[in-house]
Amino acid sequence: MTTTAEDRLQDYRRTLRGWLGEHVPANPTGDVEEAKAFQAALYDAGYSGITWPKDSGGQGLGQAEQQIFAEEAAAFEMPVRPFLISMGMCGPTIVDLGTDEQKRRYLPPLLRGEEIWCQLFSEPGAGSDVASLQCKAVPDGDGWVLTGQKVWTSNAQWADYGAILARTDPDRPKHGGITMFVVDMRAPGVTVRPLVDMTGGAPFNEVYLDAVRVGPGDVLGEVNGGWSAAVTMLGHERVTISGLRQKRSNGLTFDSLAELGRRHGADPVARDRLADLYAHQRVLELFNARMRQETVAGAAPGSRGSVGKLAGAMLLRRAVDTAGHLAGANMVAWEDGDAGAESVELGINSTPASNIAGGTNEIQRGIIGDRILGLPREPQVDRGVAFRELKVGTQTSAAGATAEQAEKGVS
């Protein structure tokens, strides 16, 4: 009897579906220990790091298995939120840029859920211009000492390690003097404070670093090559964010909004909006499936990750508009116990943050225009100017960027 590739994939789907049905908690508590136990079970069952190389602790399988996992998992509320950044951003970047020692040390416990990671890029004075960061790393013996502040750091409250960008050479232009380090989030000098948003939750944190020491083996990539490492991680981040399959209990998916339309009645305008939403959701799913296939084949997502990130943010806005049309007055008042209405409200309140996370829509449009469409770059007066001469954040330039320097930087 011959077993075809299609037979094998059907077996994979059937086995996975049964495993998920048996092991996913019916009502996840959101507790991090519950999440760790579930992630360990995923790893033991062979469903963690499905497409990662085996020598990096992964399963070494193909895009087809990854796609099946995404499709089947979408039916469940899996308690994996603490591992989104570990699995989608930091881990893939270590696979790309890490030394053999870093891969052996960090990837297996990351895949098993024993250690949680966060990404420390954003700063209060840098906004969406990550390269204006002021957190500094000063050489100290054979290592470095980190001092500064980060903000909007997801999962820092649980994290054991973080991938952090710090300025290592202020005499270079702002993109050229940055290094990425691995920092122990339990080290002396690291302070994490939660930031409560309008949903009542605290999905973000601010992180203070007060003379935190890191060693020479903690450099991820190359010294002063941190911007290239950041671009690599941001590419993975945008693919991850845009490729998140919406859980069927999410109030802003097509399925949820179509059900809302059945309950409240859908006029021709609502039907048109639902059809538009379905088309855009399906196109984004296909785009992300192709991106994952190319990534598995060895092609870095690069700037194309911005396309998926922007499309995902615009899809959410469409969903919010459609929800408002369907729900009407129920958008602002509903009966107690109406889980569907509460889910829609939570989705609407969290949409602004989703549009900012991973870079604003304006940043994505700039990247797409410059690097994909080949449009002329916007004027940059700081190009070629040493970072210490710039007035950014709380930094007051020592000499001030002269008009001549500024003129030189205009492209």
Q: Is the dihedral of CA 63, 68, 74, 78 positive or negative?
A: negative
Structure-block tokens of residue 336: 């107690």
Taking the whole predicted model, whether its pTM rises above 0.85 is answered as: no
**Residue pair 168/177 in contact by the 8 Å Cβ criterion:** yes
Structural domains in the chain plus CATH codes: 8-112 (1.10.540.10), 117-224 (2.40.110.10), 245-359 (no CATH)
Catalytic annotation present for 237: yes
For residue 189, the model assigns a pLDDT of 97
> Look-up: residue for tokens 């049905």?
21
Averaged over successive runs of 10 residues, the pLDDT of the chain (411 residues) comes to 78 95 88 94 94 88 84 86 91 94 95 96 84 95 96 93 97 95 97 85 90 97 95 79 56 85 84 93 85 71 80 89 82 68 75 76 88 86 86 67 41 29
**Residue pair 219/176 in contact by the 8 Å Cβ criterion:** no
DSSP per-residue codes, 278-303: HHHHHHHHHHHHHHHHHHHTT---GG
For residue 217, the model assigns a pLDDT of 96
Name beta bridge partners: 137.
Answer: 146
Identified catalytic residue from 65, 72, 206, 237: 237
Q: Is the dihedral of CA 223, 229, 231, 234 positive or negative?
A: negative
For residue 235, the model assigns a pLDDT of 77
For residue 37, the model assigns a pLDDT of 95
For residue 407, the model assigns a pLDDT of 42
Structure-block tokens of residue 144: 């470095």
Structure-block tokens of residue 359: 């870079």
For residue 245, the model assigns a pLDDT of 53
**Residue pair 131/366 in contact by the 8 Å Cβ criterion:** no
For residue 410, the model assigns a pLDDT of 34
